[in-house]
Each structure stands twice: as C-alpha cells, then as structure tokens.
Amino acid sequence: MAKKTLSKVEHGLSGTITVPGDKSISHRAIMLGALANGKTTVRGFLPGEDCLSTISCFRQLGVDIHQEGSYVEIHGNGAEHLREPKAVLDVGNSGTTIRLLSGILAGLGFYACIQGDSSIAKRPMKRIVDPLRLMGANIDGRQGGNFTPLTITGGNLHSIDYELPVASAQVKSAILLASLFAEGTTTVMEPERTRDHTERMLNAFGVNVNQTGKKVSMKGKQTLTATTIEVPGDISSAAFFLVAGTISAQSRLTIQHVGMNPTRTGIIDVLIHMGATLSCKNKSEDSIEPYADIQVDASSLHGVEIGGDIIPILIDEIPIIVLAATQAEGTTIIKDAAELKVKETNRIDIVAQELNKMGAHIIPTEDGMIVHGKTKLKGATVNSHGDHRIGMMLAIASTIAEGKTVIESSEAINVSYPDFFETLQGLQ
C-alpha cells in the first residue's frame, strides 16, 4: 500500500492544465468499438486502471485492441465474432465495466463469469440482473444474483419496457447494450436524467436511439459501424482542480478541453451557486461530446442545499464538493444522494470520517451529509480506503491544511488519474 505525504500550499495554485480523458466515455469507446465492424480509433482515451480493465476483458473475448497511452485502435469484427472467454473476466475496481459488459454478454450465446476486486464484491448487481433476466438472459451471482461473481449465458433476448428503480447510467446502459441483441424496441424510463454518453456514442456508431425527456428507446438488431472517437477531459477529474483553485487562496487555474456534457456539469452550477468565480470559455459542440476550457479563481464560498434531480449530474463529484463546503461560510446540506453508499466505498461515511480527522465538521445522514463551515483544516493521517476519488479529494484538502497530511492507500488514484500527483505538484 502506497503512502503519500503532502504539505500545505503557501501561495496558491496557478497554471493551465489538461486532465486525462473521460472515464465513462473511454469505457464506452472500447465496448462499442468491439461490437462494430471495422477499425475504431480513439484519441484522448484514459489509460487508467479501470479503462485498462475494460480493454483486457474485450481482449479475452477475442477482440484485437492496440493501446499506446491515450491512443487506441480497436479492430472490431461485429458482436457475432466475440468468443467465449477461457478464464474469468476480471474488471478490477470498475463498476462501469462489470455493469455495461454484463449487458453485452447477456446478448451473446456463450458462458462467461465476471468478477472484480473486494470493492466490486460489495456493490449491488441486482439492479442489472433484474432487467437482464426480464430480457431473457440467464444470469446469476451470489445471494440470488446481487453480488459477484456473476455468471452469464446469453442469447435469445427480447425487448422490454423498463422503469429504472434508481437513477443509474450504468443500469440504463446495460439495458441499452443488451437491447442491441433483442428483437423489437426496448424502452428505459429514468427517475431522473443520468449521463447520456451511451446514447450519444451509439449514435456515433450509426445506431438510432430516441431520447425524449427521461425516456430512451431503441430498436434492436441494429449494426454498429466503426468510427473515430475524440474523448474530452474528464469533468470528474477536473473537479478536483476546480475546487482546489477555488479554496486555495491566491489561486488561478485554467483547465483546457473539459467535457461539458449537460448530464455531467452539475459541479459547475453548484460551485457558481456557492460563490465561486468560474467561467467557461471556447465552448465547442463540434464533436459527439461538447467541451470547453474552464477558468477558476480563489473565491469566498457560502453554504448551499444540494438535492433532487441535480444529484445524478454530480454524483461522482460529491466528495470534492463536500471539501469545498468545509471552506464555505454556513451550512451545506446534501440530500437525495443515498447512491453514494454503493460507490467504490460508502462515500457518505468515508468522506465524513476522513475529513473530520482533518478538523472538518461533517454529519453523515441517511441520504447525504450536513457540512458545517467554515472550518480550518489541519494535516492528519488519512486513508483513501481504496477509493480513487476519496484519495484525490484528500490530496486537495492537504493543500489548505496546516502541516503535513499523510494519505494511506494513495495508489487507488491510478484507477482514474495516474498523473494526478505530478499535475498537482506542477501547479505549486
């Protein structure tokens, strides 16, 4: 287990950076490229551990994939050429890999077994198992299909109309990917809108997807044609630097080429609402995913209430928003976010526990947190608990904490941002 010792940054953070490619989009580019006919080229791919797990699973399914850093070529021969894997498919720490891949395997006529690390073993799978069973897949796992390892023998799927019980892009995507193999039209209703990268990318591969409000539907048996994908920077990774630039006195940061998909930009709305001086420049819509440069200055923040339908649009950014809230005058209330309990860790308990060690005043609740600000943070020994986003949030906390902060299990950061510490260092 790696340990990282960090010190307070005395004169703010300044500079211009780019962040690695979007994790959600990178996974989907590999998956759809593997299902398509022809050579798909991906630029800006995130070479973090999660997306490398996706590549390794598809190689085991017989797909020829060349990856060098952020450049990837996928030589797809269509889904019918995927073959039964000879060993268990290992998704590592990646929830997106296991849930989306299960949707694909549900449509294929062979046996596969999937599992991941100890965090994946605790995460609920019934949310994908239920709809995939309704479509006709033979899928099972521990405890009636709720936990890994999952075993799937796919094939002979039929379309469904499905109302998602939780707002989850992973579940929506698993169903949409399975529906590629089903006769008839599949419809998914979301309780709140979630990220729409799968829908956009299916379109880019030539598949017709209809989206109206919270309803997505598509006809099965459509074929995918290889294409070129440009992956913008991950707003979930940029989020750490957006908050760092806001809370660290005298800072001014610019982050270039950040994905600005409106189903992901809740963090920007919340930071502006809290009083941050933040602006988006050079917006572009010329690609399947919009992007822009974001500039942020050190700012005085105030507490806000965050809940309702914005939650899925900033779900992964809540740990770093909570850090911002510790530096805001007044109380911040986060509610309607019980999904945080089933992420890489229980992010309600772990965020509160680790930041409170540094002097924050955070009360965990059933569906969120109450953060009393503004608190002076001090260095402490804290732990990522194997959760990349907790590790990076704690590293940003260290930049404003008096004294030294030791982050245990800091290697977790490699899941989504292998160069994170170098980038942070370069801004000091």
Q: Closest distance between ligand S3P and the C-beta of residue 195, in Å? A: 6
Of 321-340, binders to ligand S3P (CB under 6 A) are: 339
Run of H or E residues at 211: strand 209-212
Residues 24-43 that bind ligand S3P (CB under 6 A): 24
Among 54, 159, 170, 265, binds ligand S3P (CB under 6 A): 170
Site for ligand S3P in 69-108 (CB under 6 A): 96
195 forms part of the interface with ligand S3P (CB under 6 A)? yes
* C-alpha to C-alpha distances, 84 to 112, 166, 364, nearest whole angstrom: 7, 31, 45
CB of 92 vs ligand S3P, minimal distance in Å:
14
- Could you say which of 115, 168, 227, 265 contacts ligand S3P (CB under 6 A)? 168
Preceding amide of 149 cis, omega within 30: yes
Question: Considering only residues 337-396, where is the footprint of ligand S3P by CB under 6 A?
Answer: 339
In the residue annotation, 140 being an active-site residue is answered as: no
Task: Kindly tell me which of 54 and 246 has the beta carbon lying closer to ligand S3P.
Answer: 54
Query: Least Å distance between CB 170 and ligand S3P?
Result: 3
318 near ligand S3P, judged by CB under 6 A: no
231 binds ligand S3P (CB under 6 A): no
Q: Distance between CA 17 and CA 22 in Å, rounded?
A: 15
Question: CB 245 → ligand S3P: shortest distance, Å?
Answer: 23
Active-site choice (22, 90, 196, 316): 316
User: Is there binding between residue 169 and ligand S3P (CB under 6 A)?
Assistant: yes
With respect to ligand S3P, which residue has the nearer C-beta, 315 or 393? 315
In Å, how far are 43, 45, 264, 289 from 25, measured between CA atoms? 11, 8, 12, 9
Q: Which of 196, 234, 293, 316 binds ligand S3P (CB under 6 A)?
A: 316
d(CA 360, CA 375): 6
Close Cβ partners of 60 (under 8 Å, ≥ 6 residues apart) = 85, 86, 87, 89
∠ CA 271-215-157, nearest 5°, is 125
**With respect to ligand S3P, which residue has the nearer C-beta, 242 or 315?**
315
Q: Which listed range, 113-121, 168-176, 262-270, 396-404, lies at the site for ligand S3P (CB under 6 A)? A: 168-176
C-beta of 356: minimal distance to ligand S3P in Å?
24
Q: List the alpha helices (DSSP H) in 65-125.
A: 95-105
- Which of 320, 346, 323 is closest to 237 using CA atoms? 320
Q: What are phi and psi of 395, to 5 degrees?
A: -65, -40
DSSP state at residue 231 = P
Please state the closest distance from residue 246 (CB atom) to ligand S3P, in A.
22
Per rule CB under 6 A, is residue 315 in the interface with ligand S3P?
yes
What does DSSP assign to residue 224? -
Q: Of 176 and 400, which CB lies nearer to ligand S3P in the complex structure?
A: 176
Secondary structure of residue 268 in the 3-state scheme: helix
State which residue, 4 or 264, has the beta carbon closest to ligand S3P: 264
Choices 35-43, 141-149, 162-170, 206-214; region in contact with ligand S3P by CB under 6 A: 162-170
Kindly report each contact of residues 358-367 with a partner whose C-beta sits within 8 Å and lies 24 or more positions away, as own/partner: 358/382, 358/394, 358/397, 358/401, 358/405, 359/401, 360/326, 361/326, 362/322, 362/326, 365/335, 366/338, 367/335, 367/336, 367/337, 367/338
Smallest Cα–Cα separation from 405: which of 353, 352, 357, 347? 357
Active site positions, annotated: 316
> What residues line the site for ligand S3P (CB under 6 A)?
24, 96, 168-170, 173, 195, 315-316, 339
